[in-house]
Amino acid sequence: MQTKTVLVVEDEILIAMDIEMTLTEAGYRVIGPCHNVAEAEDRLRTERPGAAVLDVNLGRDETSAALARRLQAEGVPVVFLTGYAGPDDGLPGTLGDIPRLGKPIDVPRLLDLLGTMGGG
């Protein structure tokens, strides 16, 4: 069986480590965690994820919206994480079809979404 690979982009180190540990324990191989888009883009030069878990707001006015568009164009399913509830989560409406999970993360829901998406 091939290990499912998930790109993780999260700027908060403790949350990133928690996501990495959760996914690893569930049998996924994690690319990252990356703490910003530039780091993720660098990793994507040499690795291809089966799915991606992206924090919406990455600090310093950076969002993962453009990265999500790129991944979607390449056929990589995306799940957004956000600490903001409602329509003011920092994402353009054009990305409304991407599943969003709030923080703290509902781990069973995240694993269910990744399983449904294929994640690798």
Q: What is the pLDDT of residues 22-59, one digit of tens each?
A: 999 999 999 999 999 999 999 999 999 999 999 998 98
Q: Are 66 and 37 in contact (CB under 8 A)?
A: yes
Would you say residue 67 has pLDDT above 60? yes
Percent of the chain with pLDDT over 70: 86
Residue 91: give its domain's CATH number: 3.40.50.2300
Phi, psi of 45 (to 5 degrees): -65, -30
Give the rounded distance of the alpha carbon of 19 from its chain centre: 10
The total number of structural domains that make up the chain: 1
Query: Pick the residue with more confidence: 59 or 5?
Result: 5
Distances (CA, A) of 10 to 1, 2, 57, 106: 28, 25, 8, 16
Task: Give the list of residues 6+ apart from residue 2 with CB closer than 8 angstroms, or none.
Answer: 120
Range of the domain at 61: 4-117
